[in-house]
Homo-oligomer: A and B are copies of this chain.
Amino acid sequence: MAKQITSRQENYSQWYNDLVVKAGLAENSAVRGCMVIKPWGYAIWEKMQRQLDKMFKETGHENAYFPLFIPKSFLSKEAEHVEGFAKECAVVTHHRLMTNPDGPGVVVDPSAKLEEELVVRPTSETIIWNTYKNWISSYRDLPILVNQWANVVRWEMRTRLFLRTAEFLWQEGHTAHATQAEAIAETEKMVGVYADFARNYMALPVIVGHKTESERFAGALDTLCIEAMMQDGKALQAGTSHFLGQNFAKAFDVKYQSKDGALEYVWATSWGVSTRLMGALIMAHGDDNGLVLPPNLAPIQVVMVPIFNKPEQLDAVLEKMRSIKAGLDKLGISVKIDDRENVRSGFKFAEWELKGVPVRLAIGPRDLENNTVEVARRDTLTKESLSIDGIEDYVKNLLDEIEKNIYAKALAFRDEHIIKVDTWEDFKTQIEKGGFLLCHWDGTAETEAKIQEETKATIRCIPIDSCVCEEEGKCVYSGKPSHRRVVFARAY
């Protein structure tokens, strides 16, 4: 079978695109910057959604749904927010088409112009806080812990499948609290949920930290994030949690009466992850044969491929496979028997490798005689022949081992590519090699901007894991004193 995708070494960016398209994850649509998420890609996203949704509910959150459209004037109510989001967005100006009087097709009906234009939500703080105004009057109404699963639109100029698309799918949590302390605790709790999800389900090591002021969400007082490293050494921001202070409460006049009768503004947070996580998953673990899925997020964890020369052999093999599948089903493992007859087994092997299924079991006529099965691991590309007796428990343990191994591999790669850099010369050399550079920084936006201008590197975060980074030093760029290192990298 011919090589299906460009190798990482040859062209990492092309490798990514090839993998996304050929593994059936997503493709570009006829609409500029909007993608079609194909069934296999959507099935993985659904696994992510189910798990995240469970974790949100376990931490006391409920789902709700708010309008797709935001009145233009709402965006202007929070000064920084409008700066950040009004620039590139989809604007609905009319509500009707009509038959083209001058030719074929339909045209916009000029008489159906909206009084106020509507923006397709780029994020929902404004419409939600306008709603919360009616939900909150007393401390008894607080906290509000609400999440929304939705599509959002940001008119990006340069788009890439999953990583940056005009429309994407995400969840956005929006919470309202009586006190600053409670809102800050929520912000921290949710970035913790994201880190937990990344590590234990995506097998993705992440650094948790604060964004600098210039990298903050538009309208936030503080943004916490999780940052992951891709195999080309670039950083990918995989989730953010914002402490919004009272900015939106003030913009939409949302006050509550406290226990002692005073009227006070409400405190807010918001937090989100998106289909961007799909990009992180692909780029963190994929190899030159395709996707490598952590078992915890694989829609199919085990694929079984029958080997046969004559049709009459197939029945006996399939019968054996069905009995193994029944045993695996009972253990809660999702299994597919690929019994297609018009496709050769070599083709099937390559296809399921490309799609990243963690474990492949192959059984042929000789295996039936010997009571054996060939077990292939996607993560290591190794295979072995084992007795069918007890194969169910073996596979269950193997899936756990694969999940751990994928994480360990990503962690080792990342840790090899985190280095402390103390001079500007060294910085300029190292940043070309990729990876995370732990450096002292003087804390000014000016220095941050200059470093980005000269090297395209940004401060990914100020890690909250203080033991690693808190030490005295001098800014790698300005030489001014600094009390801690921060993470610099080029990023997606």
Contacts and interface: CB of A to CB of B under 8 A. Distances in A.
A80 interface: no
A139 to B, nearest CB: 10
A151 interface: yes
A376 to B, nearest CB: 25
B66 A82 contact: no
A120 B121 CA distance: 13
A89 B114 CA distance: 12
Interface in A65-85: 65-76, 82
Contact of A29 (B62, B67, B75, B140): B67
Give the number of copies in the complex. 2
Interface in A29-72: 29-31, 34-39, 42-43, 46, 62-72
A383 interface: no
Contact of A155 (B35, B42, B96, B119): B96
Interface residues of A, number: 64
Given A30-B127, A131-B29, A120 B68 contact: yes
Interface stretch (A103-111, A264-272, A319-327): A103-111
A330 to B, nearest CB: 18
B105 A76 contact: yes
A65 B169 contact: yes
A17 to B, nearest CB: 16
Given A69-B31, A90-B118, A155 B95 contact: yes
A58 to B, nearest CB: 14
Prevailing SS type, chain A contact patch: mixed
A426 B46 CA distance: 54
Nearest to A95: B155
Contacts of A76: 104-106
A317 interface: no
Contacts of A140: 342
Contacts of A253: none
A419 B11 CA distance: 72
A63 B39 contact: yes
A180 interface: no
A203 B126 CA distance: 38
Nearest to A117: B108
Contact of A93 (B31, B91, B167): B91
A130 B95 contact: no
B93 A89 contact: no
7 contacts: A31-B118, A31-B127, A34-B69, A39-B62, A86-B106, A90-B95, A91-B92
Interface of A: 27, 29-31, 34-39, 42-43, 46, 62-76, 82, 86-98, 104-108, 117-120, 127, 130-131, 134, 140, 146, 150-151, 153, 155, 167, 169, 342
